[in-house]
Structure 1
Amino acid sequence: MRWSLMGTVALSVVLAGCSTGPKAVVSVAAGAPVEQPTGWRATATSDDQRRIDDLTGRMQRMLAALPATMRARVAAQGMLLNPTAGLDAPTLSPGSYQCRLVRVGGRRGVVSYKSDFCYIAMVDGKQSFTKQTGTQLPGGWLFDDDSGKRLIFLGTLRPQQAPSAPPYGEVRQRDVAAVIERIAPFRWRMALVKNDGQGDQTLDIYELIPVVNGSS
C-alpha cells in the first residue's frame, strides 16, 4: 500500500492497521503472560523506539559538542533548542502550520532554514501530519505518549519528485520518527530521531507555529 501527500485521505490507508487499544497479553509456555507493546510502541521499529527514548540525551550531547562560537546561534533559538523545554498539553489543533527547520551538528554547527508549510488533519479520529512544501516531505500519524508531554510521529519520507511513499515500517530507509513537544504558547518543536543520510552527525528540529487566517 502506498500513500500520496497530496491529500490526507490517503494517509488513513498507511497506518490503518495500527492499534492503540487496551494492552494485549500473550501466554508463554512455562512462563507468566508477557505484555505486548501498545500505542506507538506497537508500531515503531525497535531502532526507532531506542532513538525516541534517547532523544533528550542525544540533544544534550550534540549541543554540548558544539564549539563556543555557536553559543549565540543556540541562544537565538530560545526554547527550541532546550532539551528539557517540553510542556504539558502537547496536542496540536488541526490546520496549517509554518514549519521551520533548524539543523544541529555537522560542519555548520547550527543552521536555520526558511519556513515551509505543514498540515495537521483528523482522519477517522486520528491525527495525521503532512509536510506540504520543501525538498523532503515526511508524512504519517501522531500518537499519544504515556508521559503526557509529547506526541510521537511515525511516518515515511517522500522526496519532492516522488508521487508517493511506502507506509511506515516497509522500507527502513524511508522511515521517519519524531518527538513533538509544546515549548511555548502556540509553538511546538518536532525533533526527528534519525536524519536521513546523515546518521547521528546531525539533528533536525522543526519549529511548528500555527498559520493565522489571512496570513501568507
Structure 2
Amino acid sequence: MTRPALLALVLGLALSACAKDGLSLVETAPETRWRAVTTDQDRERLRNWRKAWVEALPAARTADGGAIAREGALFEPDRAMANAMPPAGDYRCRTFKLGAIRPELRVFAERPWVRCRVGREGEMPVFAVLEGDQRPSGTLYAETDARVIFLGTLELGDETTALAYSLDRKRDMAGYVERVAIGRWRLVLPYPNFESQLDVIEMVPAG
C-alpha cells in the first residue's frame, strides 16, 4: 500500500470511529499543555488523586453508606470508560463532598443539582458550573481517551467573574474528568482548599 493510501485509510478510520452511546470520536494525540501551565500545588494534587480517594471515601461511607452505594459507579475510584471528554453543551451537575479538612466539618455532603456547561474558548474545551455558591470553572485537557485534566479556579458567592488560573492558589483547582457510564461523567477534585478532602461533581446532559 502506498504512503498516501495508508494515510487516507488511517484518517478514515479515525473520523469514522464512534462510541457505543453515539458520541462521535476523532482520534487525537494526548494533550500535554497542562503540564506546562499547572502550579506545583496542583501537580501535587493530581499526583495524589488516589490518596485523596483512600482518605475521603471510607469517612463518607461512615456518614452515609447508603448514599455512597446508591450512586454506584460515581464513587468507584478506578471507574474510567473511553471517551472521557464530555461533548459541548448544557449539563446538570451536583457536587458531593467527601472527607473533611477539619474535625468540625461534615465528612459527607450532597449539594443540589445546578446548571453547568461545557463550551470552548478558542481551541480549548472549558467547563463551568453556572449556579450555586461555589462554582468551579476552567480548561479541559484531553490527556488520554479515558481521562481529561481540569485546571481552573473557584468562583464564590455573588462574584461575577472567575479569576485566571494560577493567580490565587487558594482559588486554584485541579482534577480530572472521567466517563463512568453512558451519559454520565464526573469531575474529581482532590484536596480542594475548602471543607472537603475530595469533591466529586456529577455531570449529566441537561434535559
> TM class by shorter-chain length?
0.7 to 0.9
Q: Which residue of 2 aligns with 1:105?
A: 99
Please identify, of 58-67 and 112-121, the stretch whose mean Cα deviation from structure 2 is larger: 58-67
Kept in 2, the 8 Å contact 1:97–1:211? The answer is yes
Q: Which amino acid aligns with 1:154?
A: L
1:136-175 matched pairs, under 5 angstroms: 136-145=134-143, 147-175=144-172
- Tell me, what secondary structure is at the counterpart of 2:80? coil
Quick one: distance in 2 between partners of 1:205 and 1:73?
Answer: 13
The alignment yields a C-alpha RMSD, in angstroms, of 2.1
1:1-216 matched pairs, under 5 angstroms: 38-66=32-60, 68=62, 70-106=64-100, 107-145=105-143, 147-198=144-195, 201-212=196-207
CA displacement, residues 27-46 of structure 1 (integer Å, 9 cap, x when unaligned)? xxxxxxxxxxx421111111
CA displacement, residues 168-195 of structure 1 (integer Å, 9 cap, x when unaligned)? 0111111111211000000001111232
Q: Deviation at 1:66?
A: 4.6
Q: Which amino acid aligns with 2:149?
A: I
Q: Which runs of 5+ in 1 are unaligned?
A: 1-21, 23-37
Kept in 1, the 8 Å contact 2:63–2:107? The answer is no
Q: Which amino acid aligns with 2:73?
A: M
Distance change (3 Å), C-alpha of 1:45 and 1:181? same
Quick one: distance in 2 between partners of 1:206 and 1:85?
Answer: 14
| Bigger fraction of residues in helix | 2
Kept in 1, the 8 Å contact 2:60–2:68? The answer is no
Identical-residue share of aligned pairs (%)? 29
Kept in 2, the 8 Å contact 1:140–1:153? The answer is yes
Kept in 2, the 8 Å contact 1:91–1:151? The answer is yes
Distance change (3 Å), C-alpha of 1:63 and 1:82? same
Kept in 1, the 8 Å contact 2:63–2:108? The answer is no
- Tell me, what secondary structure is at the counterpart of 1:118? strand
Q: Which residue of 2 aligns with 1:3?
A: none
- Tell me, what secondary structure is at the counterpart of 2:154? strand
Distance change (3 Å), C-alpha of 1:64 and 1:163? closer
Kept in 1, the 8 Å contact 2:84–2:177? The answer is yes
Paired residue total: 174
